[in-house]
Each structure stands twice: as C-alpha cells, then as structure tokens.
Amino acid sequence: MQKSALITGILGQDGPYLAELLLGKGYKVYGLMRRYSSPHYDNLNFLGIMDKIEFVEGDLTDESSLINIIKNVRPTEVYNLAAQSFVGSSWEQAKLTTEINALGVLSLLNTIKFNSPTSKFYQASTSEMFGLGNDGGYQDEKTSFHPRSPYGISKVYAYWMTVNFRESYGLFAANGILFNHESPLRGIQFVTRKITDGVARIKLGLTKSISLGNLDAKRDWGFAGDYVEAMYLMLQEKEPDDYVIGTGAYHSVKDVVDLAFKEIGVSDWKKYVVIDPRYKRPAEVPHLRARIDKAKNKLGWQPKVTFKELIKMMVKADLKRLQKK
C-alpha cells in the first residue's frame, strides 16, 4: 500500500526538501498550510514540486482543524515542522511562540492519539533547547537543557511531551534534535541567508552594507537537504527514539561573513558590515556544536555538504535570484 505523510510547515525551508525526498520514495504527501490572504509557494516552486502536494488547510493552534485532517488522511507518518521558528521574535511574541510551538504540539499529539494512533510522529526539536548546556564543548542526546529564549523553552516543552506520549501511550513519537541547517530556501531573517542575500546585493550594486548583531556567536551549520534525510530515517527505525543531528563542527558568524564575501572576490569586508545593537539578543547562546555518534551508528546518517559548500551554494543562489529579478 502507498505510504502517506502529513507535513506541517510545508511552505517553510525544511517542508519542501522533506516533501521532495518523500515524493521520490513514492509517498503521497499532504501539506498543512494556514489560510493566507496571499499564499507564498516560492520554496515549493524552487524545487518544482508545487503540483505534487495535496494541500490541507489548518493551524497548529486550532485543534479542530487538526482533528479533521488527521481523521480524513490517517497518514502513515506525520512530520511536525510548523513553528514560530525565529528565535529573535520569540521575545517579542513569547505567548504566540508558546501557543504554536508548545501547545500546538500537544494538540497534534492528542489528535493522533485519539484518531490515528498508528501514525508515526516526528517532532522538530532543536539545539536551542541546549542553550548554555554543554558537555565538554559539545551537545548530544544526554546533554542537559538550559534554553535561553522563549523559543528554546517552547521547544523543550514539545520535546518532553513527545517523549511522554511515547512512554505513556506507546505512540511511535521521535524527536530530531537538529542543529542549525540552511539552504537557498532559508528565511531571509536568519543570519546565513541575511548575509548571503546582502553579499549578493552588494555585488550587484543594490545595497552598500549589511547590518548584523553578534559576530562572535558560533553555530554548527549544515545543509537542510541532508537533514531531512535524518528525519525520514528516524521514522523508519523499529523503535522510536531521539537523535542529535548536526555536522560536529562549528563556525562563527564572522566566518560566514568572511566566506560569503570571498565568493564575490572581497577579502576586506569590514567596510560593508555595520554592527547594529538591534540585532543582538537579550540572552545569547554563545556556541552550539553537535556530537552525532548516535545518528551515525544507529541511523547510518551523516552530513554530505560542508560548511564552505553550503555558503557558496547560498551566495550563488542569491546572485541568480536577484539577477533574474
């Protein structure tokens, strides 16, 4: 029988890459989207898969819409990628972030439990849950959480609810604890894309500078296309479990700036970068770096695209996109 998957967050960054992967494996893919006055299909169109998705209308904060969808579709797998995912906005919109990222996940888990308990469930957990928590400079499945933002806190709640539904009701529910992953489909507010888009605009004479916050923060950046494979693999395991997914290496925001400018032939980038305190966070996570032994050993997963290749890919894509315009 044909497998089916419901992907929430289908119009974001990861949704389209995951949909592309699952369509390639013969899945029927349902994409949950909110009601928009003007829908934005750019990321699905970028991958050329817009016509292959069956859209269903709903919202994580509206449980009745979730019940309708889950009852009708009874998907083999549910990938919960929907979230208010921008850490920066989570201080300004802490309650909304909690309603979507924490209580929304509880609603979805309850809906599955009562209406389609054999559906396997993937929760998009995050390295932001670790925050200051680390274990010799790395984070893995055993590292304790010390989130530093309302976003991180909302995701800790969803993480534990996912574990709890597994332990209490026997649902096949897994957490992917993913470190930062980027691509040409990355939202423009996130630092890598903000930099690659800015650099492309400078190259084309469309702007003179990029305004940034803390250049010293370090992140373990990988390619979104690699990471959706890990999501899929987690739901193919015999038993549900939680996995850290990253590259094992970290770099600073300054390193991203350096590489992106090198792509357009600029080595002295200081005259193009303005430090603006508005982009600094009330509480920063200084560094995140994954230890991925469990994913390597149990899932047989490892990243393919390197940090350098990723930034190069993103600058190229932004140049192409802006030149077309």
- Which amino acids are annotated catalytic? 126, 128, 151
> In terms of CB distance, is 217 or 235 closer to ligand F7E?
217
End-to-end CA distance of the chain: 44
CB-count exposure of residue 164 (10 Å: 0-12, 13-18, 19+): middle
The number of angstroms, rounded, from the C-alpha of 3 to the middle of its chain's C-alpha atoms is: 24
Exposed, middle or buried, 31 (CB in 10 Å: 0-12/13-18/19+)? buried
Residue 133 contact among ligand F7E, ligand NAP, none, beta carbon within 5 to 8 Å by kind: none
| Of 158-166, 200-208, 211-219, 303-311: span binding ligand F7E (CB under 6 A) | 211-219
C-alpha torsion angle, residues 13, 19, 21, 27 (rounded to 10): 170
Question: Pick from 93, 164, 214, 302: which binds ligand F7E (CB under 6 A)?
Answer: 214
Q: Does 225 bind ligand NAP (CB under 6 A)?
A: no
- Triad 298, 300, 306: Cα angle to 5°: 130
194 binds, among ligand F7E, ligand NAP, none (CB under 5 to 8 A by kind): ligand F7E
**What is the DSSP code (8-state) at residue 31?**
E
SS3 78: strand
Single out the residue of 4, 111, 126, 134 in contact with ligand F7E (rule: CB under 6 A). 126
User: Interface with ligand F7E includes 157 (CB under 6 A)?
Assistant: no
Which helix or strand (DSSP H or E) is residue 199 part of? helix 191-203
Residue nearest to ligand NAP (CB): 12
Kindly tell me which of 100 and 109 has the beta carbon lying closer to ligand NAP: 100
In the complex with ligand F7E, the residue whose CB is nearer, 70 or 81, is 81
Interacting positions 89-118 with ligand NAP (CB under 6 A): 100, 104
14 binds ligand NAP (CB under 6 A): yes
Q: Which residue is nearest to ligand F7E (CB)?
A: 217
Pick from ligand NAP, ligand F7E, none: which does 75 bind, CB < 5 to 8 A by kind? none
List own/partner pairs for 254-257 with CB under 8 A and 24 or more apart: 254/215, 254/216, 255/307, 256/191, 256/192, 256/195, 256/221, 256/311, 257/195, 257/210, 257/212, 257/215
Nearest distance, CB of residue 115 and ligand F7E, angstroms: 28
214 touches which of ligand NAP, ligand F7E, none (CB within 5 to 8 A by kind)?
ligand F7E
- H or E stretch covering 273: strand 273-275
Residues near ligand NAP, by CB under 6 A: 8-9, 11-15, 34, 59-61, 81-85, 100, 104, 124, 126, 178, 180-181, 187
